[in-house]
Amino acid sequence: MNKKSIDYRSILSRLWRYIRPYKWKLILSIISALISSVLTLFFPLLTGKAVDGIIDGDTGLFFRILMMMVLSVGLSAVFQYLMNLLNNSLSYSIVRDMRKDAFAHLERLPLSYIDSHSHGDVVSRIISDADQVSDGLLMGFTQLFTGIITILGTLVFMFTVNWVVALVVVVVTPLSIFSASFIAKRTFTLFYKQSEWRGKQTAFINEMVSGASTVAAYGMEEENQKHFENINKEWAHYSLLSVFYSSLTNPVTRFVNSVVYTGVALSGGLAALSGLMTIGGLTTILSYASQYTKPFNEITGVMTEFQNAAASAGRIFAFMDAEGESDDSKLPSMDKTEGNVSFDHVFFSYVPERPLIKDLELDIKPGMKVAIVGPTGAGKTTIINLLMRFYDPQSGRISIDGHDISSVRRFSIRSSFGMVLQETWLRTGTIRENIVMGRKDASDEDIKRAVELCHLDTFIASLPHGLDEMIADDSDGISQGQKQLLSISRIMLSEPEMLILDEATSSIDTRTEMYIQDAFMHLMEGRTSFIVAHRLQTIKNADLILVIDHGDVVEKGTHKELMAKKGFYHNLYMSQFAKR
């Protein structure tokens, strides 16, 4: 485990940065806790005087004190309510800001991070771990302030009643503080491990829910159940250890507090017998002794929750420390492009010890339709990822219209391309919102035209709310083919300067594909287009076909030229159409 990621002091320091904007709420909460605690601490003092008044037979004094006691309790409740209100607002505001920053950082993370980390674990950090932070801070602000003020206040009041008895409390108290601190420091690592395994569990459940049909189809239920049980066992192991060790603080402090109370009772009793204090004074100091020990038990519970919150905050901060895409806000934007694309001695690998793209050189002229073909894992999609700057090459230069893409803003590069992938994605919202994603100012006529080009008009007309029908990526009422058509309609509407089609019609029936191909041919006219295809029949009319194998361009040319060579492409093509 990375020691830096669980640096307790560093975590508290970063938490303070989120608390600082709400310091006035914090100050008001502390003032409310102070007033509420002081008013509560007056109650035993008034009780002692009431007892002395009864013993002396002064009923007038007794009733006056009784009224003061009622007023004290009432005002204490009001300030306690105000403190809770402020603490709720404070803790939820802090966690809201943390979640906002974490999500903003998620938006800045490179695709390499998303590809290499479990999606469920990322979700767990932003949601579940943030909830743990919220619970810990709420309990901490609510009970920690009143606990500390009560401890200090009772000491002051006890010294005013009898300093000798109060001194007994001061001598014994450090034992409670030391024992609680000693155990708490050793539980933090366990809570961090607990949070880690909770994230793994969330990630695995998320994976199984999203792939439920595949799991059922291959009969993997039993194997996945065993894997889940192993994860659950580890999570339970660290949960049990963290709760066990953190729970030791409460009985230990209770034992020390019992010693404190016994010492106060004995020394106070002797003082009363010696005439050094009244019976009412003894009643008061015993009540203070009870109030003094109670916050220690509460604070140990708070420390347990706070350790858990700090561990969860550590996971959130570790996520936020992941290196995002470099800031390119000061770089120039690329103007409207003509579509001249070149790769100049480009080298790239996902893993350093396994090179993929090796010394790639390409020169694509404006308006060319370029098909990229090759076996699975050859590097076809990798070339697209490099072109879109989802990944950066280790060396070499990629340029568009003579501009090195590393020297211009990423957004200006990506907005120049219209992209349809084999894996479709729909956002939760209306069909209209999904279609206009790349062109917010589109008119109804423009949307209607894009829908008709993609042969979605009949499907949309059959929906109760038409274009305003709510959908999501996991909507049951929409087929995979319809999802892909919706993705294609975005491209049709946005009319980008260049096109990237990565198996864009893989989930569409043959008849609809013919119509879509005609629409694409119309859209590709005059635009530089990159088509990644497995079905080679669809790219026969391409101006240039690049045949990729293990990251190398092994052949390039037109369909007719490559078939005449009877090389790698010829073998690929014939393997798809040879009679069996």
Question: Are 530 and 387 a contacting pair, CB within 8 Å?
Answer: yes
* 407 beta partners: none
Supply the pLDDT for residue 137. Answer: 80
Share of the chain above pLDDT 90, in %: 2
pLDDT at 575: 77
Q: Is the pLDDT of residue 140 over 80?
A: no
Query: According to the model, what pLDDT value does residue 5 have?
Result: 42
Question: For the chain, first and last CA: distance in Å?
Answer: 55
| DSSP secondary structure code for residue 142 in this structure | I
pLDDT band at 188 (very low <50, low <70, confident <90, very high): low
The separation between CA 420 and the C-alpha centre of its own chain, rounded to angstroms, equals 27
pLDDT by residue (tens digit) across 379-399?
A: 888 888 889 888 888 899 999
Whether the predicted pLDDT of 62 surpasses 70: no
Residue range 148-158: mean pLDDT, rounded: 77
Across the chain, which distance is largest between two alpha carbons, in Å?
121
Rounded CA-CA distance 226/265 in Å is 58
Q: What is the mean pLDDT of the chain?
A: 79
Strand partners, 499: 418, 529
- Specify whether the CB–CB gap between 37 and 144 falls below 8 A: no
Judged by average pLDDT, the poorest of 169-173, 182-186, 262-266 is 182-186
Residue 397 has a pLDDT of: 92
C-alpha span between 134 and 118 (Å, rounded) = 24
Q: How far apart are CA 50 and CA 56, in angstroms?
A: 10
- Mapped onto helix, strand or coil, the DSSP state of residue 546 is strand
What is the pLDDT confidence band of residue 245, given thresholds at 50, 70 and 90? confident
Instruction: Please tell me the predicted confidence (pLDDT) of residue 182.
Output: 67
Q: Which two tokens stand for residue 254?
A: 């209770």
423-434 per-position pLDDT tens digit: 777 888 888 888
pLDDT of residue 282: 67
Segment 275-298 mean pLDDT: 68
Alpha carbon of 568 to those of 369, 379, 546, 547: distances in Å?
Answer: 20, 16, 11, 8
**Of 114-118, 149-153, 281-285, 447-451, the least confident:** 281-285
pLDDT at 58 > cutoff 70: no
pLDDT digits (tens, 9 = 90+) for 74-95: 888 898 899 888 888 888 888 8
Per-residue pLDDT at 437: 83
* Range from 218-227, 295-304, 366-375, 469-478 carrying the lowest mean pLDDT: 295-304
CB 169, CB 292: distance < 8 Å: yes
pLDDT of residue 580: 42
pLDDT, tens digit, 9 for 90 and up, residues 329-370: 788 888 788 888 999 988 988 887 788 888 888 889 998 889
Split at pLDDT 50, 70, 90, the class of 174 is low
Q: Residue 83: its pLDDT value, please?
A: 87
Compute the average pLDDT of residues 413-437. 83
Count of residues in the chain: 580
What is the rounded distance in angstroms from the CA atom of residue 268 to the CA atom of residue 412? Answer: 79
So what's the pLDDT on residue 399? 92
pLDDT computed for residue 519 by the predictor: 72
pLDDT digits (tens, 9 = 90+) for 220-242: 778 888 888 888 888 888 888 77
Average pLDDT over residues 253-279: 70
Q: Name the DSSP class of 354.
A: B
Q: pTM, whole model, 2 decimals?
A: 0.69
- Mean pLDDT (whole number) for 128-155: 79
Higher-pLDDT residue of 171, 96: 96
Least confident of 61-70, 230-239, 462-471, 510-519: 510-519
Contact 81, 111 (CB under 8 A): no
Distance CA 188, CA 194 (A): 10
**Secondary structure, 3-state, 437-504:** HHCCCCCHHHHHHHHHHCCCHHHHHCCCCHHHCEECCCCCCCCHHHHHHHHHHHHHHHCCCEEEEECC
Whether the per-residue pLDDT at 53 is higher than 80: the answer is no
Higher pLDDT, 413 or 273: 413
